[in-house]
């Protein structure tokens, strides 16, 4: 008669070991991120104090402990660039973008470094990317627009792209001017739609497209009439529209 080996206790032991290892890894990862953030803060302070070597060391430690810390890669790129290590800087900026495509700084930084190197095609590409993911009248977006103008790319050329990418990405439905109906009465959906119309209205306002901005903001007010920020922005746009007539 063959001896039967009990499988269940072995399975339980293996599962327990796996679970404990997973918990330990999660704890180490969490702790690593916390320490990485602290190193990043120390690096920022060292950079402010003009101690670039120490700042580089802190930023490098930050990304070692938290490889997903995109801002630390960007800041590391800034210091590499300051030291004349352009290739290392470009890699750091590129890594920051890979980790967080919505982080705006590395796009401008890459545009600047390629412009200095005389690669105008890549400079234009990254300055354009910086404009397209930013607010139209935000300080660094305006600086990117200015750089593009110096490279022969004026606002009218990128405005259409900005509208297509930045505004069309909002899920506004087929008819952006339609009144809410049916399941639009759901409060959460109304607020979500209001935020999207509000965002679009602000962008159109920043771009000087006042009638279109008022249409969007008016729709936002219909959907969320108690939102004071929407009402205040609508009044501001309305006053500016009257003054421009």
What is the dotted CATH code of the domain comprising 15-103?
A: 1.25.40.10
Determine which of 21-35, 49-63, 112-126, 165-179 has the lowest per-residue pLDDT on average.
Answer: 165-179
Is a pLDDT exceeding 80 seen at residue 5? no
Is a pLDDT exceeding 50 seen at residue 30? yes
Is 126 exposed, middle or buried (CB count within 10 Å of its CB: 0-12, 13-18, 19+)?
buried
pLDDT at site 173: 43
Is a pLDDT exceeding 90 seen at residue 26? no
Would you tell me how many other CB atoms lie within 10 Å of the CB of residue 201?
26
- ∠ CA 118-77-117, nearest 5°, is 5
Question: Please, which pLDDT band fits residue 182 given cuts at 50, 70 and 90?
Answer: very low
Q: Please give the helix or strand (H or E) that residue 103 lies within, else none.
A: none
Question: Please, which pLDDT band fits residue 233 given cuts at 50, 70 and 90?
Answer: confident
Give counts: helices (H), strands (E), the chain.
11, 0
CATH class of 170-245: mainly alpha
Structural domain boundaries in the chain: 15-103, 170-245
């Amino acid at each position: 008669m063959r001896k039967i080996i009990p499988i269940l206790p072995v399975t339980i032991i293996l599962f327990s070991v796996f679970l404990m290892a997973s918990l330990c890894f999660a704890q180490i990862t969490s702790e690593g991120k916390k320490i990485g953030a602290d190193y990043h803060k120390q690096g920022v302070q060292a950079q402010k104090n003009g101690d670039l070597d120490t700042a580089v060391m802190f930023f490098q430690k930050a990304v070692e402990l938290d490889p997903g810390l995109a801002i630390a890669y960007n800041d590391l790129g800034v210091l590499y660039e300051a030291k004349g290590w352009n290739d290392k800087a470009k890699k750091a900026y590129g890594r920051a973008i890979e980790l967080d495509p919505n982080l705006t700084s590395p796009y401008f930084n890459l545009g600047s470094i390629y412009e200095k190197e005389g690669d105008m095609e890549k400079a234009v590409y990254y300055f354009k990317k910086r404009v397209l993911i930013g607010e139209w009248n935000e300080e660094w977006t305006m600086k990117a627009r200015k750089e593009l103008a110096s490279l022969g790319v004026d606002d009218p050329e990128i405005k259409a792209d900005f509208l297509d990418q930045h505004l069309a990405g909002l899920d506004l439905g087929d008819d952006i001017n339609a009144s809410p109906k049916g399941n639009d009465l759901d409060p959460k959906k109304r607020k979500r739609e209001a935020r999207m119309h509000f965002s679009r209205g602000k962008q159109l306002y920043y771009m000087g497209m006042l009638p279109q901005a008022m249409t969007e903001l008016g729709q936002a007010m219909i959907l969320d009439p108690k939102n004071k920020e929407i009402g205040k922005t609508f009044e501001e746009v309305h006053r500016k529209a009257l003054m421009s007539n």
